[in-house]
Amino acid sequence: KAGVTQTPRYLIKTRGQQVTLSCSPISGHRSVSWYQQTPGQGLQFLFEYFSETQRNKGNFPGRFSGRQFSNSRSEMNVSTLELGDSALYLCASSPRTSGGKETQYFGPGTRLLVL
């Protein structure tokens, strides 16, 4: 099976702009989670989508949003970018059939630089 794919891999934006990141989960996986990774804050959970619905949410401002499509692909949007949004954004997928027991499979990430 193909792994989790994320596009684009690298992105440069300026403050105030918005950005959309894409994630394609492993075939058959219905849950997609997003994480932000920064040197200062480490790995932080953004949100999880399952069956096109947001099921869990982390402590991020409303500028961070996401959605999931019927084919389980997910997009994450960040509006009004700030310098502090520069990070590696990781997407992870899982079957989500047995709660937290499942392994989350991570994509390679999208590295966002905000200037």
Partner 1 sequence: AQSVTQLDSQVPVFEEAPVELRCNYSSSVSVYLFWYVQYPNQGLQLLLKYLSGSTLVKGINGFEAEFNKSQTSFHLRKPSVHISDTAEYFCAVTPYNFNKFYFGSGTKLNVKP
CB 55 within 8 A of CB 100: no
Among 56, 71, 77, 80, binds partner 1 (CB under 8 A): 56
- Region from 13-21, 52-60, 61-69, 74-82 binding partner 1, contact rule CB under 8 A: 52-60
Nearer to partner 1, 13 or 58 (CB): 58
Nearer to partner 1, 62 or 99 (CB): 99
CA angle centred on 57, ends 56 and 58, rounded to 5°:
135
Could you tell me the smallest distance in angstroms from the CB atom of residue 11 to partner 1?
15
Backbone region of residue 52 per phi and psi (left: phi > 0; alpha: psi in -120 to 50; beta: other values) = left
Amino acid symbol at 26: I
Tallying the residues shown for the chain, one arrives at: 115
Amino acid symbol at 7: T
Task: Assess 60 for contact with partner 1 (CB under 8 A).
Answer: no
Q: Given the rule CB under 8 A, which residues bind partner 1?
A: 4, 31, 33, 35, 42-45, 48, 50, 55-56, 58, 90, 92, 94, 96, 99-109
